C-alpha cells in the first residue's frame, strides 16, 4: 500500500497522458472550497425595504417605513413612523419617531431615536463601548448590556435572542415575556402567506408576525385607550 501511494503521488497514467497528482488534488480541493463558501452577494445581502400602512378601526392612521443600507461591514437601518388619529376632523393623538440603528456582525453598535409622543419629546443616543451600550437622553445616561436588542420589530432576534429587550423610545430595558403562538396565515404584501405569530406580553401587549425567512410582515399594538392598531405590509 505504501509503495502504491508513493507511485500515485508522483503520477497517474490516464488515457496515455501523465497527470501530476499533486496538481489534481489541489484543483479538487480548491473546487470544493469554492462550493462550500457563500457567494459574496449572499454574504452582503441587505434586507428589503419594509412599508406598512397602520390601520385602526378600519381607518388609515399612519405609516411606518424601514430602509436598509450596507456600509462596509455595517448594516445601517433607518425607520420613520408617523401616526395621527382623528375624531370629528380633529386630531386627538399624534406620534412621530425617526430611528437609526447600526449593526455589525449581528450586534448593535449604535442607535439614535427622536420622537414626539403627542407633544412629549423623547430623544436617545447610544454607542457600543467596552462595558456595553452607553445610552444618553438629555442629562441622563446609562449602560445597557452588550447583547441588548432594541424592540424595533424589523429584527426577528427581538423575539428569539437571549439578550435583554430595549424599548426603542425610552432606551430602557423592558420586562416582556415572549410567547410563540405558532404559524398562521396572514395577509402581507397583497397576498396570503404563512407566518409565525409571537406575542410580547406586557401592560400593553404587542403581537408581531414573521415569515419563514424572518421578515417582519405584520404587527398589532394595543393603544392607551385599549383600541388595536394593525401594521399591514404593503
Alpha carbon distance 66, 56 (integer Å): 20
* pTM tops 0.85: no
Average pLDDT over residues 127-140: 94
pLDDT in tens, 59-68: 999 999 999 9
Q: What band does 18 get if pLDDT is binned at 50, 70 and 90?
A: very low
pLDDT in tens, 51-86: 999 999 889 999 999 999 999 999 999 999 999 998
Amino acid at each position: 500500500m505504501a509503495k502504491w501511494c508513493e507511485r500515485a503521488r508522483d503520477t497517474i497514467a490516464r488515457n496515455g497522458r501523465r497527470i501530476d497528482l499533486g496538481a489534481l488534488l489541489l484543483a479538487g480541493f480548491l473546487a470544493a472550497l469554492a462550493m462550500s463558501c457563500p457567494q459574496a452577494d449572499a454574504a452582503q445581502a441587505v434586507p428589503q425595504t419594509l412599508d406598512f400602512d397602520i390601520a385602526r378601526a378600519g381607518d388609515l392612521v399612519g405609516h411606518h417605513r424601514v430602509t436598509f443600507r450596507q456600509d462596509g461591514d455595517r448594516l445601517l437601518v433607518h425607520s420613520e413612523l408617523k401616526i395621527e388619529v382623528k375624531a370629528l376632523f380633529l386630531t386627538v393623538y399624534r406620534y412621530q419617531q425617526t430611528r437609526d440603528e447600526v449593526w455589525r456582525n449581528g450586534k448593535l453598535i449604535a442607535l439614535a431615536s427622536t420622537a414626539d409622543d403627542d407633544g412629549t419629546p423623547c430623544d436617545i443616543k447610544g454607542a457600543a463601548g467596552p462595558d456595553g451600550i452607553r445610552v444618553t437622553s438629555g442629562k441622563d445616561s446609562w449602560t445597557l448590556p452588550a447583547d441588548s436588542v432594541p424592540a424595533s420589530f424589523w429584527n426577528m432576534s427581538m423575539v428569539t435572542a437571549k439578550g435583554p429587550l430595549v424599548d426603542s423610545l425610552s432606551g430602557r430595558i423592558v420586562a416582556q415575556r415572549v410567547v410563540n403562538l405558532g404559524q398562521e396565515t396572514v395577509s402581507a404584501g397583497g397576498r396570503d402567506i404563512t407566518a409565525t405569530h409571537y406575542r410580547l406580553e406586557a401592560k400593553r401587549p404587542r403581537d408581531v408576525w414573521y415569515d419563514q425567512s424572518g421578515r417582519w410582515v405584520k404587527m398589532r399594538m394595543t393603544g392607551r385607550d385599549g383600541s388595536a392598531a394593525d401594521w399591514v405590509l404593503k
